[in-house]
Amino acid sequence: MNMQQKMHGNNHYEIGLDHGNVHVFANAEVFQSFEAKVYEMADNNLRIPRNVYMSYTPDAHVGVGTCIGTTAVWSMKDGIVSPSIVGVDIGCGMRVHTTPLHKRDIQDKAVRRALIAAIESYVPTNERTNSHFADIDIMEVVKQGLRGLPSKYVPDNQWITHVEESTFQYDHTYLEHLPPKIRKNARGQLGTLGSGNHFIELQYLEINEASAELAAKWGLFDGQVVIMIHSGSRAWGAMLGREYNKVMKEAMYHWGVENPDPNLIYAPITSKEGKTYLNLMYSALNFAVSNRHMIAFGVRQAFKDVFGPQIETPVLYDLMHNYALKEFHRNQPMLVHRKGATRALPPNHFLNTPVYKETGHPALIPGSMGTSSYIMVGKEEGLKNFYSICHGAGRVRSRRATKEAVTIDQFAQSLRIGTEEEILVNHRSLETILDECPQAYKDVDQIIDSVVGASLADVVARCIPMAAIKGK
């Protein structure tokens, strides 16, 4: 495969491949770490007709069909939609809630252990345990998103307004295409964490001095305890994704459409298969934002149990990093796929949710387990990448390779076990979550440096973990 490299300013490379160009946003160290397979997958993706733009964020790494860390854009008029470039965990994303607490209020390990236990009593972390919110009609949720939840689960209007989208609109008649098993398997999962890289973390903030004024507008302060949640659409999105991979793959066969990667599936937006997938994908986005909402509702109850009924945990923001969304760019509607990529809109951008119109919204970037996460804000220059930034640290080792390469002692050192700064976890044995250790991921600080250096976004606050709750 031929490769030609061009620079467009700091941390912005354009790589010419056989079937088109992919833009890469990374500092020199991260750029050099990309493996050849990443570019091979990009070239396969660029074989898809009428692509307008494709890029990798610095956390990009090999995925199924498409790399995680991809932004890929087509025109809504004659473009393509791809379940492979959305990913299986449709609507997976991040949510942060603030608290009035300071780091010192939960420094005592006994307090943090009490919080972990309380959170686990409201948020099931065992894959075989059903949600505590059995009275919620999931069909109302997949149709109306947050507005389909009973009012008793919405503490105040901020829980509706401080999100990327509270309801994704679509044609509900497409729900008739869903196999009954999807509804059956998703029932009981709303408000559950899931496994893998999903988590709830208790963190404290270090405000970036250059962003102190903005942080104050958002209600953030040095030492503040915040709650970060990472989860997605659970069985609803996973089963829907697998089902329509099969449907589209069969359609591609009948159309005579081939790609060197059999896992790369796509269809025209205007086709029956494309329309069906897009509408059902929005149902999964509604499930995902509602799932994070209900996890956060459970965490709020846990904080009330430990600190008293007067404490509140306001929403800072909720956003997704696995989806395809109609957006207006270059004066026309486009379908922007983000697979492991976060939208980071600048101040005064018309797509901002109203409460963040003036400042730009918080862009929530998790680190790996035991490392810092970040709260960022988009910049005008982000237009060059369709306002996409990283979604996390990005894996460098598979789960199996991590277990073979990293020892329990090394993992324990990463969590600073036995020190005053120990990051408490809800697992009795670190061996069960070894594949999520920091050594499995890229250096998140290098990822953030890449984004800042490319002028895509700025850091508002660094989030330092104090306790982590993982699925079992």
List active site positions: 391
Q: Say how far apart CA 225 and CA 427 lie, in whole Å.
A: 22
Beta-carbon count within 10 A of 227 CB: 24
Pairing of strands 53-61, 20-25: parallel
Residues 6+ apart with CB under 8 A from 157: none
Looking up tokens 């499995």 gives 440
Handedness of CA 112, 114, 117, 123 (dihedral sign): negative
Q: How many Å from the N-terminal Cα to the C-terminal Cα in the chain?
A: 42
Which of 418, 414, 400 is closest to 443 using CA atoms? 414
Which of 253, 234, 170 is closest to 471 using CA atoms? 234
- β partners of residue 80: 268
User: Residue 62: what residue type?
Assistant: V
Q: Say how far apart CA 334 and CA 72 lie, in whole Å.
A: 10
Q: Say how far apart CA 44 and CA 46 lie, in whole Å.
A: 5
Name the token pair of 245.
């991979």
As to burial, measured by CB atoms within 10 angstroms (0-12 exposed, 13-18 middle, 19+ buried), residue 347 is middle
Looking up tokens 């069985």 gives 235
Contact 25, 15 (CB under 8 A): no
Q: Say how far apart CA 377 and CA 362 lie, in whole Å.
A: 5
Handedness of CA 262, 264, 265, 270 (dihedral sign): negative
Please name the residue ranges forming H helices in 218-351. 234-255, 272-307
Contact 55, 71 (CB under 8 A): yes
Q: Say how far apart CA 471 and CA 197 lie, in whole Å.
A: 9
Name the token pair of 340.
């492991």
